Amino acid sequence: MLQSLSVSQAHLPIGIFDSGVGGLSVAKCVQKLLPNEHIIYLADSLHAPYGSKPQDFIQQRVDTLAKQLIAKNIKALVIACNTATVNAIDELRKKVAIPVIGVEPAIKPAAARSKTKKVGILVTEATARNQRFLNLVKRFSSNIEVFIQPCPGLVELIEQGDIEQPKCDSLLRSFIQPLLEKDVDTLVLGCTHYPFLIDKIKNQVDQRLEIMETAEPVTRELQRQLAQRNLLA
Ligand code: DGL
């Protein structure tokens, strides 16, 4: 899987993948902020959702997808999936020579902005139980309370294009309501699928509740890593 790059390879594409359509929220931001870049997007829809799968399954899928994208001669790889990042990025980085950028939930900025000092985070089940993720939460929650809310079933609805069904609203309500009852004023979207539900989330919460996504910080990190290696198109 190893591939090394020289400075003349700035014209090569960037590989982006997710378990399904969720990573498109990241790809869209890359397209907007880095319009000269060429993107190859891979959606592992056959195996979605990752959130209900064990870690070794997720690691195998990440290895397979990375291999497929690296075979297309990419200059950098973006794991546009929180679940895949926390479960597999450390192992993958040991195996590949190109920059690998992952998605991490915006807990740090959320902690800085919250006035109630109570932050909610919506994640998949495989993220919620992951030690790397729990360590990240611990690192940034010394002066705030973080409420982790797993959201089983949401990714499936988004993948099936069923978000206009009443079931989607009631499922969302069952995940958000307990957080509002805890006086959370900042909500972190810890799964790249959830930005597709942002209007629905806004309909269920007070306007003052701040919703934090990660597409832009990930894109900035990608830009930084490419610039560092003289690989920006
Ligand atoms: N977009 C993935 C994430 O950010 C969804 C995981 C899944 O397939 O359950 O976590």
Q: Look-up: residue for tokens 């450390």?
A: 90
Q: Ligand 1 test: best mutation among 24, 82, 122, most atoms within 8 Å of CB?
A: 82
Ligand 1 near 22 CB (within 6 A): yes
pLDDT of residue 207: 82
Q: Is 63 helix (H, G, I), strand (E, B) or coil?
A: helix
* Any ligand 1 atom below 6 A from CB of 37: no
- What integer pLDDT is reported at residue 3 of this predicted model? 54
Rounded Cα distance, 217 and 230, in Å: 20
CB-ligand 1 contact for 105 (6 Å cutoff): no
For residue 12, how far is its CA from the centre of ligand 1 (angstroms)? 27
Residues annotated as part of the active site: 81, 191
**pLDDT of amino acid 41:** 98
193 lines ligand 1 (CB under 6 A): yes
Token code pair at residue 142: 């010394």
Count of residues for the chain?
233
Contact predicate 73/44, CB 8 Å: no
For residue 183, count other CB atoms closer than 10 A to its CB: 12
What's the pLDDT score for residue 6? 52
Please name which of 82, 22, 92 lies closest in space to residue 60, comparing C-alpha atoms: 92
0.75 surpassed by pTM = yes
Local structure of 39: helix, strand or coil: strand
Ligand 1 atom nearest residue 159's Cα = 8
Point out the residues of the chain with pLDDT beneath 70: 1-7
pLDDT value of position 206: 83
When the pLDDT of each residue in the chain is averaged and rounded to a whole number, the result is: 94
- Compute the chain's Rg from CA coordinates: 17
Pocket test residue of 16, 41, 44, 50 for ligand 1, highest count of atoms within 8 A of CB? 50
Q: Ligand 1: which of 16, 17, 19, 151 to mutate, judged by most atoms within 8 Å of the beta carbon?
A: 19
